[in-house]
A and B are shown apart, each in its own frame.
Chain A
Amino acid sequence: MFTPDLVDALDGSDALTKRRRAAADRAVAAGRPSFTEEVWRYTPIDDLDPAQYAFAAPGGVRGPAGLMSGVDDGAAAVVHISNGAVVEVSVRADGVRVDTLGNGADDLIGTVAPEGPDVFGDWNLALATAPVAVSIDPNAVVTEPIVVHVHTDVEGLAWFPRLVVMAGRTSQATVIEHHTGGDALALISPLTELSVGDGAHLGHVTVQELGGAAWQIANLCSDVGRDANLRIGHVAMGGDYARARIGTDMTGRGGHSEIDAVYFGRGTSTLDFRTFQTHVAPHTTSALLFKGAVDDYARAVYTGLIRIEADASNVQADQTNRNLKLSPNAWAESVPNLEIENSDVQCSHASSIGPVDADQRFYLESRGVPTDVAEALVVRGFFDEVLDALPSEQISASVRRRIDELVSDADFTAAL
């Protein structure tokens, strides 16, 4: 499994190596996570068998385009990271810089998440073999997306992708992170840091379409500066167990964040989402919308915390999670939480879990739409608002098509 001595074999500056060792020590001290901890509740984390995986960075070929078909063509930059190694970096637009290990990335790692946020985050800092830092120059307006493909197709591999995005003050850019994998049994534990400078507008979309044997334990940490705007999109379609812990720290007055997620669980997959909307500064807003469907024997877990710190007055924070249960054997859990230490705030949360709405289905049927088509329309319609909200129209369109394919093949009647 992962041991602190693995750090010694990695490249990087002395300062980074020192931080890696400290992170490894923290991770060892933390030990193995267990489902008895609230943040791992409802997960199969106790099934994690370290002996199944070998830590390495063999590199390899680019991953498939998948849901990203055509997106690279006009991209401002394209990066391919496969099986622990950077295999291609191509920057095509002004105002964008891509740095790698030993070439500028070392000092940027940990800007937003110097430690943690959990044991996998610490292991990530200790053992990230191919960290990539994307920097947007101050004032730069990058209209086309910056695309980072992360691909894993080596059987039994464990590795720690790390991406740091530094959006300079009043810059504008969108970064798309694309995770693919074949049928390999692999453990991928990425950590993404988003630093949104004052007045900057940053979009970040994760598109996760891993194979059915992969475990992904992902962390996303972000820091939103003064009057800055962060739009996070998350699309989760694959994996045996795919977890995303997404945190937005609203540290600059006037900052705004949005998190919109689409997920569709099939087979026996477990999709696990933990969100933390943390308001540190006053006059900050955040909005969260997670919409997902579970079919077959799939499971989905959503737990979200809105945390308002004592100094954060004049805050508005919303959180909504909606789940469609498309099969009698599918399962979903939704746990919204509020933790408020300032009374001058407006917060709301809502969640639901249920089958295709019978009234909606009957309404469409009463127009002459056959049951299966009516259900497919209702499911597509369910995702409509959140797809519209993703910070990339290209991704919205391709995910919409994928959902259309999934629902037109499915038979949901059994779930009712």
Chain B
Amino acid sequence: MITLIDGLSLGSIYALIALGYTMVYGIAKMLNFAHGDIIMVGAYAIYVAMSFANPNPVIALISSIIVCTLLGVFVEKFAYKPLRGASPLAVLITAIGVSYFLQSVAQIVFGSQPKPVSGWKLPKIEFLNQFGITTGAVVTLIAGILIMVALTLFINITRTGSAMLAVSEDKGAAKLMGINVNKIITITFAIGSALASFASMFYLLQIPNAEPTLGAMPGIKAFTAAVIGGIGSIPGAMLGGMVLGVIEKICLSIEVISPYTTAIEFSLLILILLVKPTGFLGRTTKEKV
């Protein structure tokens, strides 16, 4: 039970990051491997905001959201937009380049040592703690689910959301409908990066240290989650994240296999790619001609 809640909580972090991967993939048809590093920048934003006198967690969170969103839009505008229409490989290499660039800048500015984020703690709730469940896990899980519900509603109800669905399916046809495709891509990067900033907040609740390579592992695992769920699919990213989080916590709770946890997770990726390359909820086009 505890393992399950911890797993789902970790899973919602992965899901939030995976959503960024999957939305950008669905709409811009590119793998944004710099997405994990947005989380790292978000964590440093929280670190900076919390190291002022009279730190306020709410202000820290808001500044992290702003920094991440702007960074996502910036990266898209200066690194990816000039490559629209270029080969996918060129875009992929650029994304990896952006990833290293962000890590290096963080290292120059903040140094390579982990910076402890002080005061980023939630009050203990006795009732939960007696079962061994941390407040952080519960808050992460609930907030994660709320954010995902909000995102689903946004995409299915709003005009921008339906434009996003249209762009993800056919950019040319979307233009003919009068949809500004570039604007939709920018909005997608903004939303994905904002979700990443929530991921950094939840991540810091578990490990309160900001460091330059912080985003690498969660980033690649969330990518795994997105592929497991079916890249391009929003419910798929949520499901994939949850599944991966639970598997990770279960593996960690069993002493014999816990050292192999990461290996098991990535083996799962390979297995899925072999058996069902479109992932759990990936698109199987129903098409009649």
Are A and B a genuine interacting pair, yes or no? Answer: no
